[in-house]
Amino acid sequence: MADKQIRFSWRGWTTFVITISFIVDTISGIILYIAPHGRIANWTGWTIWGLDKDAWAAIHTIFGYLLLIIAGVHLYYNWKMFMHFIWSKIRKALNLRWELITATLLCLFMFLGAIWNIPPFSTTMSVGESLKESWEESKAGTPIAQGEQLSLQDFATKIQVPVDQLLDSLRSEGYEVENAEQTLEEIAEQNNTSPDKLYEAMKSGDVQPTLPTTTQGSGLGRKTLEAISAELGLSIDEVLSRLKQKGISAQPGDKLKDVASEHEKSALEIQNIITGKEE
């Protein structure tokens, strides 16, 4: 008796692809929900399961498209069956008017709640933002927005330190640097480390970097006064004293942006008060 021929089941294949895509998209979505902001992820070499944030974003996008494409193809080849199913459900739904109305109102409420940013939707987003910021509180933030993309020469100019001094600091810590035209990202990859580790090595000697005169894109506004004072090499008492002299009351755990907002000032103005640059 001849073996029964095994036919390839496209319906089964489609089901498996859609299921796997859904699972991958769900996992990657959760990871991106808790992942740090891009500048922190790039600066610290953040990874989960060996994949950085860009990789997870790519996975989430590609599998999202795969899910849509396969679902679309599945609907195309099963359109009559699908429409018959939909109309039969609609006829049944018309006998469940209150269920239909309440379900529609619930979805409408969630849609508008997300747009208007009201609780509990705003709370959900706030939790995600807090999780993202928690990575920043435990890592050294970049003093310059997208600093890892700058050449060592440009980075030195930005923090107002001679590039030869940075080269000496890095090489004395055992890092290989070909020349000052390499970006921090390239140097980090060459030495199997992250840009923030390089920055810490730069500061290991007598290097005293100067913060940029703007907080835009640096993430400084999200940092606490205590973290900022540590980065500047100032005591938190000195920072609080400078603020108090300007009539600004604050606590070590307050974020720079919150202090600025509460006293109707910009983050840059608060930064200048802290660094003693305000005239």
The secondary structure of 30-65 as a DSSP string is HHHHHSPPHHHHHHHT-EETTEEHHHHHHHHHHHHH
245 assigned to some structural domain:
yes
pLDDT value at residue 261: 80
* 47 and 166 belong to one structural domain: no
Question: What range does the domain containing 266 cover?
Answer: 220-275
pLDDT value at residue 58: 95
Of the three residues 111, 137, 163, the one that is the final residue of a domain is 137
Comparing 40-44, 53-57, 86-90, 110-114, the range with the smallest average pLDDT is: 86-90
pLDDT value at residue 278: 62
Global confidence as pTM: 0.65
pLDDT value at residue 140: 53
* 108 and 14 belong to one structural domain: yes
196, pLDDT greater than 60: yes
Average pLDDT for 18-25:
93
* 65 and 16 belong to one structural domain: yes
* 192 and 105 belong to one structural domain: no
Average pLDDT for 202-208:
72
Helix, strand, or coil here: 111? helix
> Which range, 20-24, 36-40, 181-185, has the best average confidence (pLDDT)?
20-24
Q: Given pLDDT bands bounded at 50, 70 and 90, which one contains residue 219?
A: low
Residue 186 amino acid letter = E
* 117 and 154 belong to one structural domain: no
Q: Given pLDDT bands bounded at 50, 70 and 90, which one contains residue 1?
A: very low
pLDDT value at residue 207: 67
pLDDT value at residue 143: 67
* 17 and 95 belong to one structural domain: yes
Q: What does the mean pLDDT of the chain come to?
A: 80
* 15 and 115 belong to one structural domain: yes
Comparing 123-137, 158-172, 201-215, 262-276, the range with the smallest average pLDDT is: 201-215
The answer to whether the beta carbons of residues 151 and 179 sit under 8 Å apart is: no
| CA-only gyration radius of the chain, Å | 27
* 157 and 97 belong to one structural domain: no
Comparing 9-13, 132-136, 232-236, 267-271, the range with the smallest average pLDDT is: 132-136
* 89 and 22 belong to one structural domain: yes
* 232 and 129 belong to one structural domain: no
95, pLDDT greater than 80: no
> Which range, 39-43, 54-58, 146-150, 182-186, has the best average confidence (pLDDT)?
54-58
* 44 and 122 belong to one structural domain: yes
Calpha distance 20→63 (Å, rounded): 9
5 assigned to some structural domain:
no
